[in-house]
Amino acid sequence: MKAKSLVTNALIAALYVAVTGFISPFGFTHIQFRLSELFNHLIVFNKRYFFGIVLGVFLANYFFSPFKVDLIFGLTHSIVSLLITMIFANFIKNKLVLMGINTVVFSFNMFIIAFMLKVFAELPEGFMFLWVTTGVSELIVMGVTIPLVYALHKRVNFNKLT
């Protein structure tokens, strides 16, 4: 990995952790307004951001999650969702459409987090309730941040940062 790519991914991971820490009271329950999920959209612009995003998720869950199994389930959710989006990126070139698909993929895959919350965190709510609330939370955060990430891309061109 080139030094520039390594530094860029480290910066993404650090930003993910910092933003997660800032909103941590709202990022780890059955309603997860984790603003740092906006960084998941970077995968649309360059697959090299995969490592920075995954490292950010790992560190954020390590430092802030009240559930240590979130290291496994949170990483699984992010890795699976990012890989699915990367597959779609082979066929869809429109970045806004791909960001929409990325949002739906991440939101749908929140069943992984809902399972963790039900089984390991032993929340009293039913699995479907947890899936819907975490999925809708993800959908809102990622959906609302699409224009922000796209506007930033227009200014700094995420394609060429690594």
* Predicted confidence (pLDDT) per residue in 100-121, tens digit: 999 999 999 999 999 999 998 8
The Cα 89–Cα 47 span in angstroms is 9
pLDDT, residue 25, reads 65
Question: Comparing C-alpha atoms, which of 106, 116, 102 is closest to residue 30?
Answer: 116
Arch. (CATH architecture) of 3-160: Orthogonal Bundle (1.10)
Confidence of residue 131 (pLDDT cuts 50, 70, 90): very high
* Tokens representing residue 130 in the block: 């947890």
Provide the residue ranges of all domains of the chain, joining segments of one domain with +.
3-160
- Give the separation between CA 111 and CA 18, rounded to whole angstroms: 25
| Pair 142, 110: CB distance under 8 Å | no
Closest CA to 28 of 113, 118, 122, 112: 113
Greater model confidence, 36 or 28: 36
Sorted by sequence, the CB contacts under 8 Å of residue 36 that are 6+ apart come out as: 15, 16, 17, 19, 20, 23, 27, 56, 60
Across residues 67-74, what is the average pLDDT?
A: 92
- 157 φ/ψ sector (left φ>0, alpha ψ -120 to 50, else beta): left
Residue 38 pLDDT greater than 60, yes or no? yes
The pLDDT score that the predictor gives to residue 26 is 61
The pLDDT-based confidence of 123 (bands split at 50, 70, 90) is confident
State mean pLDDT over 17-30.
75
